[in-house]
Amino acid sequence: MNEVADEAGWDVEPGDEIEPLVQAVGRLLKVCREAAGMRCAEFGEVMGYGEDMIRKIERGQRIPRPEFLDRADDVLGAQGHLKAFKRDMEKARYPKKVRELADLEGRAIELLMYGNHNMHGLLQTEEYMRALLATWRPAYSSDEFERMVAGRMARKCIFSRSPAPELSFVQEEVTLRRPIGGTMVLRRQLEHLLEVARLPFVELQVMPTSRANHPGTGGQIQVLKFGDGTAVGRTDGDFGGRPVSNPRQLRLLDLRYGIIRAQALTPEESLAFIEQVLGEL
């Protein structure tokens, strides 16, 4: 029962601003349960979860899954009051940093992204993503791991936005060759790259290892530009890795990215290069 109960939701990160909302949903669940005349243990049995897990949700220590609220609303006759928070809890399950990044990506009209060590998160397949996250040390708990995967997968909705943003990716050659998850996982990842690269609003370029000099050696670069003319960017090599919005700092990132983009293979050459790497596997 405990293994099943763990699937009821996700732990709340300490200090997360979403905590008061999760606590409010928990209190509402308790009110609805008591109004239905059900004891905590009885409700847990009907829902298929342990009493301890139900109490954690009611105390706001656990973020309930949307499907949990769906069923709880029906079981308790809550008339849609619990279901009304499904979307909020769907967002709450993602780590705070992922939510903030997803919000920025959701508002951006242009994204510039250079990856020198790993495949960019927006380009990853789920199985590649899982294999990559499994390499991190110290290892994530199973709960943290699933939240990270869910958060990254949710960000991929950027590809279905209308109007679509302009997306520019430059990936170092090594990120196409490192067999994260094994050969078959890498094959499917490269096939996915080819699909993404052919989208009309995506430019995907490869930086060959043979390029001896370019300004990307300091680490990844990411710049998000918004419709009001503002932007935010970050790089591993400067500003302590923190996001910046100062125009002077952004010009520096734009300059670096422009040179990187110019020195990389063209989008057409990059497609051929990815196909070549795929054929070598």
Give percent above pLDDT 90 in the chain: 63
pLDDT tens readout for residues 117-158 = 899 999 999 999 999 999 999 998 887 888 888 888 888 989
- Burial grade of 55 (CB within 10 A; 0-12, 13-18, 19 or more): middle
Question: Model confidence at 88, in pLDDT bands (50, 70, 90)?
Answer: confident
Question: Model confidence at 101, in pLDDT bands (50, 70, 90)?
Answer: confident
Region 82-88: mean pLDDT is 90
How far are the Cα atoms of 222, 233, 243, 244, 261 from residue 249, in angstroms, in the given order?
Answer: 12, 8, 10, 7, 18
Give percent above pLDDT 70 in the chain: 93
Region 172-178: mean pLDDT is 96
What's at 232, amino acid-wise? V
pLDDT of residue 95: 66
- Please spell the DSSP secondary structure of 131-182, one letter per residue: HHHTT-SSPPPHHHHHHHHHHHHHHGGGGG-SSPPEEEEEEEHHHHHS-TT-
Top mean-pLDDT range of 14-18, 41-45, 158-162, 272-276: 272-276
Whether the predicted pLDDT of 35 surpasses 60: yes
Q: How far apart are CA 190 and CA 187, in angstroms?
A: 5
Neighbours of 105 (CB within 10 A): 20
Question: Model confidence at 10, in pLDDT bands (50, 70, 90)?
Answer: low
What's at 163, amino acid-wise? P
Mean pLDDT of the chain: 89
